[in-house]
Structure 1
């Protein structure tokens, strides 16, 4: 029994590895030789489950993959490509069905109409060309009047919006993606603290555009998300009130005052305080001579400010 399970496991891993070696086009295109190779590999790989032959089966599967790679290289040549894959066939030209090509490709009119509907075209008058590709898919080229309007049609210049890059997936930081958008984990932690998030596991998905500094979050628990949104609204309201109060001091005389800025409180770095004091985390660690703040209860600095007198 264990011998059979071991054979199944080995053939399963081997087959996956060989399919990866054959390339992604094997899955997305399914050309004739792709389909044949997949069928043969599946059949040969199943032999150890019903026979005692194991090593010969591995040799056969590897041989099929080698032949597949050879054929894949041959299709890079235009003549061989035409032989192995065939040529595109025009099924509709200027809104007219080419019946001879339908018969040649063994495609019924009902199948064609169904395919056109799934691509979003229910009227032949909307179609300029419909082409059956060698991979089996149907490409539809609509007439200009049926084509969706673009910003170019409206003479509107499109601004580059950047590429959205996932930086948290299922509560796990994607470090490589952070590097691609020129960010680091310290920047991410600051953004999460600004939004009141202490545990990254609460985030199921987060992404950032490479052209702006905004972090977009998707919370694991929708209730937490609603609560945080309410808290954010309250914080924004308080900031607005503070700005309004500051504006009321415009016509009053300036006096000097001091305020306390907390850099560390309750053994935790205060990101807001670091920003207000224009101090980075690395500078604070260098000044204090530590890289672990669990033993430091509080670090406060006083900053002189100018305010209006009453």
Structure 2
């Protein structure tokens, strides 16, 4: 057998093996890997690369070495899931860098962190003043997490509207011109509704690259042809217009009726609708 053929066969086999190893190790991002997992990954890659190119190496010995480097991190990972002591030993503990707005200089020295490095990490989180930070940790992954002081935290909908409605994730109902039935059924819709909505904006399913439905039932589409302008969703605007019309109708009925009791009833209902409109306005205009 020619050397280049053997290299191709060995490389192809090792590629399949590395793919299976990656699946076994799970879906952790590189930044979430422990130090040992990171080292094990590099070592496995080096062994695999050398094994595929150096024909003098015994394939069985190389695979045995890879299996050892694979199984040891897997065993440690399983033990870490069951024992916090093992987890702290393998992955390390978080270190407090800022507490009650005060920098912990001793902890910085312990982790060999300079003030410049701390400031750099905070700037990456759009924090430019240490005085704005209430609490900050150095995570085992090397990332800094920070909690801003209450008065420095951004305003949220929950701060303005108590018990505000939750917003669910948008569902992708079309991709590459094909309708996806499962996401449609998840939100209680069907192909008939989708085709009706596409007809309203003058679009055929074949021209749709991607289509999504948000938690308010609005359909947004992206077409293959970027030159074609698609009208924006109008579901929420129509709902807002309907609410305003109801309010106006009650006020009109109040003006037209001669009964004082009926007039008060209509005005009272108009006021209730106005209160409802004010509550849902942030969502309708969002």
TM more than 0.5 = yes
Aligned in 2, Cα 1:63/1:138: closer, same or farther, shift over 3 Å? same
Aligned in 2, Cα 1:194/1:119: closer, same or farther, shift over 3 Å? same
Aligned in 2, Cα 1:107/1:166: closer, same or farther, shift over 3 Å? same
**Matched residue SS, 1:24:** coil
Partner of 1:192: 198
Superposed CA deviations along residues 234-285 of structure 1, whole A, max 9, x for unmatched, are: xxxxxxxxxxxxxxxxxxxxxxxxxxxxxxxxxxxxxxxxxxxxxxxxxxxx
* Cα distance in 1, alignment partners of residues 183 and 31 from structure 2: 25
Is the aligned partner of 1:55 residue 2:57? no
Partner of 1:15: 18
Is the aligned partner of 1:127 residue 2:133? yes
Bigger mean CA offset, 17-26 vs 167-176:
167-176
Superposed CA deviations along residues 203-250 of structure 1, whole A, max 9, x for unmatched, are: 2221113x44432111222212x2x549x9xxxxxxxxxxxxxxxxxx
Q: How does 1:70-219 map to 2 (within 5 A)?
A: 70-76=75-81, 77-200=83-206, 202-209=207-214, 211-219=215-223
Are the aligned partners of 1:166 and 1:174 in contact in 2 as well (CA < 8 Å)?
yes
Runs of 4+ in structure 1 off by over 6 angstroms are: none
Which of 50, 58, 73 lines up with 1:68 in the alignment? 73
* Cα distance in 2, alignment partners of residues 34 and 214 from structure 1: 44
Are the aligned partners of 2:7 and 2:53 in contact in 1 as well (CA < 8 Å)?
no
Q: Which has the higher strand share?
A: 1
Structure 2 portions without partners, runs of 5+:
235-286
Q: How does 1:258-277 map to 2 (within 5 A)?
A: none
Is the aligned partner of 1:41 residue 2:41? no
Are the aligned partners of 1:26 and 1:34 in contact in 2 as well (CA < 8 Å)?
no
Deviation (angstroms), 1:16: 2.0
Aligned in 2, Cα 1:171/1:48: closer, same or farther, shift over 3 Å? farther
**Matched residue SS, 1:91:** strand
Q: Which has the higher helix share?
A: 2
* Cα distance in 2, alignment partners of residues 132 and 39 from structure 1: 24
Aligned in 2, Cα 1:86/1:152: closer, same or farther, shift over 3 Å? same
Aligned in 2, Cα 1:116/1:206: closer, same or farther, shift over 3 Å? same
**Matched residue SS, 2:9:** helix
Deviation (angstroms), 1:35: 0.8
* Cα distance in 1, alignment partners of residues 64 and 183 from structure 2: 40
Are the aligned partners of 1:167 and 1:177 in contact in 2 as well (CA < 8 Å)?
yes
* Cα distance in 1, alignment partners of residues 111 and 50 from structure 2: 35
Deviation (angstroms), 1:72: 0.3
Are the aligned partners of 2:208 and 2:222 in contact in 1 as well (CA < 8 Å)?
yes
Aligned in 2, Cα 1:45/1:221: closer, same or farther, shift over 3 Å? same
Report which of the two structures shows the higher radius of gyration computed on alpha carbons. 1
Q: How does 1:239-258 map to 2 (within 5 A)?
A: none
Aligned in 2, Cα 1:122/1:105: closer, same or farther, shift over 3 Å? same
Bigger mean CA offset, 93-102 vs 191-200:
191-200
